[in-house]
Structure 1
Amino acid sequence: MDMNAYLSMFIDESNDHLQALNENLLKLENDPGDISIVQVIFRSAHTLKGMSATMGFEDLASLTHEMENVLDLVRNSKLAMDSFIFDTLFKGLDALEAMVQDIVGGGTGKADVSSIVVSLQSIVKGDYLKAAQPSADAPAQNSGSSGTSGGALLDIFQQSVLKQSIESGNQAYYIKVTLREDCVLKAARAYMVFDVLESNGEVIKSEPSVQDLEQEKFDRSFIVFLISGTDAEELKSRIESVSEVDSADVVLLDAESLQMYGPVPDNQQKPAASQAAPAVQAREAAVRETSAAKSQTAATGAAVANRTIRVDIDRLDSLMNLFSELLIDRVRLEQLSSEIKRSDLIETVEHMARVSTDLQDIVLKLRMVPVESVFNRFPRMVRDIAKQLDKKIDLVVTGAETELDRTVIDEIGDPLVHLLRNSLDHGVEMPADRLAAGKPETGTVHLRAFHSGNHVFIEVEDDGNGIDAAKVRRIAVKNGVLSEEEANKLSEEQAQMLIFAAGFSTADKISDLSGRGVGLDVVKSKITSLGGHVTIRSQLGKGTIFSIQLPLTLSIISAMLIQMGSEKYAIPLSSIVETGIIQRDSIATVHGNQMIEFRGTVIPVVSLSRVLDVPDYREDAETETEIVVIRKNDKLAALMIDSFIGQSEIVLKPLGKYLPAIKALSGATILGDGQVALIIDPNAFIK
């Protein structure tokens, strides 16, 4: 079987399962007792393991198998989740994602995950089996249990496993391993010993824990309880063959000697187990009931799920290009029918126009993807950063179902990551500072998306300390960005926008995560390149809102067609504020720049014919001129043009790599009469 044919499907489905694992682990962290979530997580891990094994990605399959073992204990109520287990599972997910990305890049998907595997195995083999320990409802432990003066080495579950193994004819060992005094890499030697033990049996418990051994939190010796079919002398020989191991004491255990290492004498274990059984049975019954309900729901939704297919984005691009040609021909037919004026032709063309308009809506919707595909990565990121910063932060996501063009979706992720990191790192204060300011200890960051007209707005809002406009002005003057006089004339909003200048930062100390302003110029550049813009609303002591405005799609846009001499141009409607006519003698010259008065303010005027070097065009031929007022963020400018042609839906075509980059142009389109019209980039005219 040629597995390469299934590689694309494997990558897509693996990413879906990894995203589901991340989301559901976050849910479980908020409600660790919800077994139904564990069932969902287990199924995702089990499916991912099977897919990886089938495709031959052994490292992926083996790591997922170790994670599955932990989840199996949890779903069967034999293990209670704690912070260490959550952190270990999240580390495992990070490693799985890295391996999948390696496969995407043409790699083999191999990685050294031995440390994560050891941690997962230590969880499975007893170091963190807290749920199995006696609860408040179980009989109290006998504090006078013989043979234990410094506390029990084994809990009830571990002791029971060893006892059952002995009764089944297996051998249980107490092993004390001592390293040489001059041993340098103690953790590495301990790992090598565990490697030997794992190949000869099953480790039930280690003291200190595997985590402590990994971090070298022990002196020279450690204790291991092992179930094995190998005799004591052979075990001793194999352990002592490990470099820098001084000695290995191997003691064979029986049912009587086992009692001295456990918390409860043998005659008290059975009542405890019998009393615990009804609770375990009840939990298992609840799990079975939940699983049955979910199976029924899955069966009901199977018909709907089977109606969904995956489509390669290249095919959608091809479909869009073909439709673009159809749109151009439609406009051409409309023009010809208006000239020929035959009723049957006009009727046919009108019907074609209606059908192609519906087709346009479908084609555009095929390319539309919910922003959820980008937003999904952020809850995990916020969790990790909050732990790293020792802050308490809630992320509230709304409008994740809002749709954007796939092209925009692919580009918007990194800017949002940077804005969120700024809010987490420098926006939201430390818990103590928030309490001192009369705020809740837990900060809140809102990530929202919503439609407005032909645009999508994405906002990142925090209830942190806000941006100090006065401080921004001082830094701007200090760095030579503005003179003190110019800085004092800036409004609050204008001063806050200065943080988008390259290398500008208001942070007193730049962290590894982000510095408010450092890199924000890149964010702004990326948003601008997508045909959008970003604004700031901030109130000192209250919080900050970053608002990003983006076009719904980059492929087909509404534009105003204009005439300049013998040439035609298109200006995107999204950038046009107003059109009008002005008298040429109303244009004033200020410091060498042409300006006009527009609705109570003064804005610059740009001669489009001069910028584009339009041939056979004379500006002074008329006493008045048409203008198009354009906007970039909160700034306005007027473009002087020859005449208006009208509004039209145009297909955006790139200029291609053979043409040099022309600052004032963003692309081209083909009109209905076959002419090429260049598309004006309004952002290039406003600094």
Structure 2
Amino acid sequence: MDFLGNDNNKNNKEMLAIFQGESEEILERLFNNLFSLEDTPANKDLIGSIYRDLHSLKGAVRMVGFNNIQGIFHKMEDIFDAVNNDQFVLDKDIINLMSRSLETASRYLQESIKNGREIIDEEFTATLSNLEYILDIEMNEQTFRQNETIAEAGMVSGKESSGLSQYQEEINSSFNACFEIIDSIVPEEESQDIVILKEEVEKIYEFFKNSNLYEVKTSLENILAKLDFVMNATNTFTISEILELRNELSSAAAKFTTSCIETEEGGLTFFDIAEKISMLQGSSIYAKEIKDDIAQLKEGIDDQNIIEIINVINDILDFISENSVQLEEQMMMTLKGAVEYCASPNENIDNDLILQQLEIMKQLLELNYKKDTGVSEIKSLSTQTSSANKSNASTEIKTLHVNAQKLDLLVNQLGELIITKIKTEKNLEKIDSIKNANEACQKDLLKTSNYLRYYNRKYLQSGNTDQYTGVFVKQVFSLLLDITQNVSRTIYDLNSLYRASKEDDMKMRLIIDEMESMVKNIRVLPISTVFNSFSRMVRDIANEKGKDIDFEIEGKDTCADKKIIEEIKTPLIHILRNAIDHGIESKEERIANGKSPVGKILLSAKQDDNKVIIDVVDDGQGFNLEKIKDRAVSRGFLTQDDIDSMTDEAIMNIIFWPGFTTGDSITSISGRGIGLDVVKTKISQLNGKVKVISEFGKGSCVHIEIPVTLTTLRVFLVQISGQTFAIPIQVITTFILKNQNEIKTNNGVRSILFNGNIIPLYYLSDILELAPAPRNEKETILIIEADDKTIGLVVDKLLGDQDILQKKLSPPLYKVKNISGITNLASGELCLILNMQDIMHYDFNKAMISANNQELLTSDVLSYKRILIVDDSVTTRTMVKNILLNIGYMVDTVLDADEALVKLKLTHYDLIITDLTMPKIDGYEFIERLRNDEMYADIPIIVISSLPENQARKRLNKLSIAHYISKDNFDQADLAMQVKEILTKFHH
């Protein structure tokens, strides 16, 4: 049945989508089992599992019409069938060939699915030939040994073929002679053996030309035609032609021994029964007779596949007889083909395919011809239902393929339910508040009524007041009684509503919580979904690098969200490649270092609360800190001063920087400096963390922490400039309050002392470019730790932590700076979720510029002015450069006066900023040289130095500098203002 030949394009796509999911699952199991089989080639359980999967995949591939591709799976199935029956012995080379063949078939299968039609080429044909070659000698010899045994047992017969049984030995002898001749033919060389081979085949053909064994006869005629063509042409065979010839001859011999089944009563064959099937097209009365004939032949059959087909044929014949069905031609041909298959099983026709065709035919008959049986059918159905319940465990569908897009929609709808749940809770609080207010009002009204009653008794009834006052009081009293009664009814109704709403809320909360848990579990997959694919990759890369590696996996059953599973694969591939290429040493190095020649890599996963922890551990050489330092300096990532000021942990994490690599050469596996950068980026995008623990010479561990799910997120809500924002709670260490006098400013950077360490402090409103709120006497500060940095963020107000449903931004806002998503709060307010990865990589020099000095940045005077900074301190150079760049100047930097003089010859500068204490030529001499050269004498100069101003001024007064700034009291606003004023003065 060729589904791809169907004109219904929608059905084709649905069928291919279903098939693709099924085939990917089976292929994944096959790859993993083949990998495991390398270590235990005699493992019968593995061999049986592989055989069953190949059989299932072959049938599925055939069902969608990829008939050529199924040939590879069919040949592999034959090989493992032979292995399973101890007719074939596996070794490492054959298993490797199986793996390569499976990879080829998988590749062509994916391309064919993608294009909606089968795609094959010469590589595919070569793969199929390799598999046929494995089967060739061993399997053909086994077939003929079986043929001789069967012949001696006298199992071959038939009306015409019964006469051949007396020549069984002679025919088999001729077949064996043909195979001996074929084996002696040398490919691409002329041989007289071809003539002898043709004579032997003609001798065999003489036995069959008048028999009814048409398939054997046709095969022999094809072989003779090929031999005749070769003899009249080149008189040579290629190796593929020899293999094809031998297989066709083997097939003919096998069909000869199995075509006719003799019964003790007579010479009835399935071919005879097939001829009778055509009579069912006009009448159903022959159905019982055909069934009786089949029953005679069934007794002598041991093949369970054939027996299964016969049972379905009998069911169909019973239905035809009971319901007087006259078969249509198409159904008649299907039934006839199935009977002929029982007579001569064809290896090119899948047994399961025959069964499926018969089952479909059976269902169509029941649908179109079954008579209405009324009450009896209901009773029958009741009996069937009772019976089905008993076997429910075996027929229950335990796994469904769910479209991920539909699941995402369900998750979104669940999110709306969760928001409704929160809102309902808030509404209940409001009802409770109204109820309490009404109760208080009721008390006041009762108190007022009591006063009026007292007044009525005391004064009105005693006649101590005038009549108008009495009438007024009575009216007020009556009105208050009415109001009191109304309020009482309202309170009663509110109480009833509150109780009912609270009960409904409790039920809804339970249902939603349970539903949320179920949906999360639907999206959760075992991490083995990803881990299982790595064994083959590690083996292949290790073979390519000439290394022996023992790769172990632990914690396959650890589960995580589908999105996490999908996204974690790429980082793990890079980590494993890096471990194989850079971590594990060569065999010779390991032996020289006293290690086992076989390296070890352990990939493990475990769940810790709401996190999944993944470790990749290897016993290789580890990371060389000194090499990392040297590379960082030599490649221009850092200066030596920067390296000297960093901790070992910070230096180790340089390996995650974009473009950084410790590899000495670029290979197909690693060395380009993009791998571990991808790891860091991906893990951060998943709200996770990654770090490296390593001891040089002993090995390393890449430690990853990622959340179990991405649908819900624990956040801390903060208020900034009147707006509410959410910060993922995993990056928050704590929050503190600091007085303004505890916040220090050094070199333009605000900082605070926290746990004995000085950490930089920034206003989140500046980073998000929001209008700043008035500064408080005490600042509320969040301590943020992420990407190996610790900073303080000033916020206006803390609103508390909360679980939220994280949603992606809608188009066109796919990527907004500093924002990772959005959520709905219980109040109905939309809340933006901050992207802490963006914030931690923010250019904090922008945030250093005070809002009070923004007017300094807008003047046209600043445009197109170029400034040269001369300072041997990389910190000063970088900080001053960033401040001026952010304002809008063009800036160049050099580390000493010699370089500055070279720069000045090549470029015109409007301002020079220099230090005084520098190597070689100090600042004083540098400025003096400029003042003595008429080309540079008029360039204004600002000095930034750590020397006391009084001391420096003694020499500077003679050198006409424009301004002096002390590093001890450096203020970026002052620098910005002075630069602007000096440029305005000197260039106007």
In the superposition, the TM-score normalised over structure 2's length comes to 0.54
Higher helix share: 2
2:234 to 225, 240, 256: 240
Number of the residue aligned with 1:146: none
Q: Distance in 2 between matches of 1:240 and 1:370?
A: 60
Q: Distance in 2 between matches of 1:332 and 1:555?
A: 20
Number of the residue aligned with 1:171: 178
Whether the aligned pair in 2 keeps the contact of 1:561 and 1:648 (CA below 8 Å) is yes
Query: How far is 1:447 from its partner?
Result: 0.5
Number of the residue aligned with 2:773: 618
Deviations 1:374-413 (A, max 9, x none): 0010111112122222211111101111111111111111
Number of the residue aligned with 1:59: 68
Instruction: Call closer, same or farther: CA 1:237–1:130 in 2, change over 3 Å.
Output: closer
Whether the aligned pair in 2 keeps the contact of 1:99 and 1:110 (CA below 8 Å) is yes
Instruction: Call closer, same or farther: CA 1:550–1:128 in 2, change over 3 Å.
Output: farther
Alignment of 1:90-129 (within 5 A): 90-112=99-121, 113-126=124-137
Number of the residue aligned with 1:339: 430
Residue range with higher mean Cα deviation, 449-458 or 476-485: 449-458
Q: Distance in 1 between matches of 2:106 and 2:611?
A: 33
Deviations 1:621-674 (A, max 9, x none): x20121221221432122111112222221112222323733221111111111
Q: Distance in 1 between matches of 2:238 and 2:98?
A: 32
1:308 to 378, 399, 412: 399
Instruction: Call closer, same or farther: CA 1:459–1:304 in 2, change over 3 Å.
Output: farther
Instruction: Call closer, same or farther: CA 1:84–1:235 in 2, change over 3 Å.
Output: farther
Whether the aligned pair in 2 keeps the contact of 1:473 and 1:488 (CA below 8 Å) is no
Number of the residue aligned with 2:822: 668
Q: Distance in 2 between matches of 1:613 and 1:346?
A: 44
Deviations 1:531-555 (A, max 9, x none): 2221111110111111122122222
Deviations 1:422-456 (A, max 9, x none): 11121111122111111112111011111123221
Instruction: Call closer, same or farther: CA 1:243–1:79 in 2, change over 3 Å.
Output: closer
1:656 aligned to 2:807? no
Q: Distance in 1 between matches of 2:426 and 2:111?
A: 53
Q: Distance in 2 between matches of 1:163 and 1:490?
A: 89
Residue 427 of structure 2 aligns to which amino acid in structure 1? L
Instruction: Call closer, same or farther: CA 1:42–1:489 in 2, change over 3 Å.
Output: same
**3-state SS of 2:23 partner:** helix
Instruction: Call closer, same or farther: CA 1:86–1:685 in 2, change over 3 Å.
Output: same
Query: How far is 1:478 from its partner?
Result: 0.5
Whether the aligned pair in 2 keeps the contact of 1:422 and 1:516 (CA below 8 Å) is no
**Percent of matched pairs sharing the same residue:** 30
Alignment of 1:520-669 (within 5 A): 520-615=676-771, 617-620=772-775, 622-659=776-813, 661-669=815-823
**3-state SS of 2:27 partner:** helix
**3-state SS of 1:505 partner:** coil
In the superposition, the TM-score normalised over structure 1's length comes to 0.76
1:40 aligned to 2:196? no
**3-state SS of 1:240 partner:** coil
Q: Distance in 2 between matches of 1:304 and 1:395?
A: 38
**3-state SS of 1:58 partner:** coil
Query: How far is 1:318 from its partner?
Result: 1.0
Whether the aligned pair in 2 keeps the contact of 1:79 and 1:129 (CA below 8 Å) is no
Higher strand share: 1
Alignment of 1:45-444 (within 5 A): 45-112=54-121, 113-126=124-137, 165-167=172-174, 171-172=178-179, 173-174=181-182, 175-177=184-186, 179=188, 229-230=223-224, 234=228, 236-237=230-231, 240=234, 303=394, 306-341=397-432, 343-344=498-499, 345-444=501-600
Residue 106 of structure 2 aligns to which amino acid in structure 1? E
Deviations 1:6-46 (A, max 9, x none): 22221111111111111211222111122332121111101
2:602 to 446, 455, 458: 446
Q: Distance in 2 between matches of 1:663 and 1:55?
A: 47
Whether the aligned pair in 2 keeps the contact of 1:80 and 1:130 (CA below 8 Å) is no
Deviations 1:176-225 (A, max 9, x none): 446589xxxxxxxxxxxx9xx9xx99xxxxxxxxxxxxxxxxxxxxxxxx
Q: Distance in 1 between matches of 2:238 and 2:397?
A: 59
Instruction: Call closer, same or farther: CA 1:586–1:88 in 2, change over 3 Å.
Output: same
Residue range with higher mean Cα deviation, 414-423 or 33-42: 33-42
Whether the aligned pair in 2 keeps the contact of 1:79 and 1:130 (CA below 8 Å) is no
Q: Distance in 1 between matches of 2:544 and 2:597?
A: 17
**3-state SS of 2:567 partner:** helix
Q: Distance in 2 between matches of 1:118 and 1:244?
A: 12
Instruction: Call closer, same or farther: CA 1:300–1:163 in 2, change over 3 Å.
Output: farther
Query: How far is 1:127 from its partner?
Result: 7.5
Query: How far is 1:614 from its partner?
Result: 3.3
Q: Distance in 1 between matches of 2:746 and 2:544?
A: 53
Query: How far is 1:227 from its partner?
Result: 13
Instruction: Call closer, same or farther: CA 1:239–1:474 in 2, change over 3 Å.
Output: farther
Instruction: Call closer, same or farther: CA 1:358–1:116 in 2, change over 3 Å.
Output: same
Residue range with higher mean Cα deviation, 97-106 or 478-487: 97-106
Query: How far is 1:243 from its partner?
Result: 10
Whether the aligned pair in 1 keeps the contact of 2:187 and 2:236 (CA below 8 Å) is no
Q: Distance in 2 between matches of 1:7 and 1:233?
A: 42
Q: Distance in 1 between matches of 2:178 and 2:237?
A: 26
Q: Distance in 2 between matches of 1:399 and 1:519?
A: 25
Instruction: Call closer, same or farther: CA 1:513–1:649 in 2, change over 3 Å.
Output: same
Whether the aligned pair in 1 keeps the contact of 2:725 and 2:834 (CA below 8 Å) is yes
Residue 137 of structure 2 aligns to which amino acid in structure 1? G
Number of the residue aligned with 2:152: none
Say which one has the larger Rg. Answer: 2
**3-state SS of 2:508 partner:** helix
Whether the aligned pair in 1 keeps the contact of 2:187 and 2:237 (CA below 8 Å) is no
Instruction: Call closer, same or farther: CA 1:227–1:118 in 2, change over 3 Å.
Output: farther
Residue 166 of structure 1 aligns to which amino acid in structure 2? S
Instruction: Call closer, same or farther: CA 1:79–1:367 in 2, change over 3 Å.
Output: same
Q: Distance in 1 between matches of 2:427 and 2:187?
A: 94
Query: How far is 1:234 from its partner?
Result: 2.1
Q: Distance in 2 between matches of 1:529 and 1:19?
A: 28
**3-state SS of 1:522 partner:** helix
Number of the residue aligned with 2:148: none
**3-state SS of 1:105 partner:** helix
Number of the residue aligned with 2:648: 492
User: Larger relative contact order (C-alpha < 8 A, sep ≥ 6)?
Assistant: 1
**3-state SS of 2:663 partner:** coil
Instruction: Call closer, same or farther: CA 1:682–1:116 in 2, change over 3 Å.
Output: same
Deviations 1:511-547 (A, max 9, x none): 2111284421122112212222211111101111111
Number of the residue aligned with 1:291: none
**3-state SS of 1:619 partner:** coil
Q: Distance in 2 between matches of 1:428 and 1:378?
A: 16
Q: Distance in 1 between matches of 2:708 and 2:750?
A: 34
Instruction: Call closer, same or farther: CA 1:36–1:403 in 2, change over 3 Å.
Output: closer
Residue 100 of structure 2 aligns to which amino acid in structure 1? K
Whether the aligned pair in 1 keeps the contact of 2:620 and 2:697 (CA below 8 Å) is yes
Q: Distance in 1 between matches of 2:174 and 2:511?
A: 78
Residue range with higher mean Cα deviation, 353-362 or 332-341: 353-362
Number of the residue aligned with 2:27: 18
Instruction: Call closer, same or farther: CA 1:592–1:243 in 2, change over 3 Å.
Output: farther
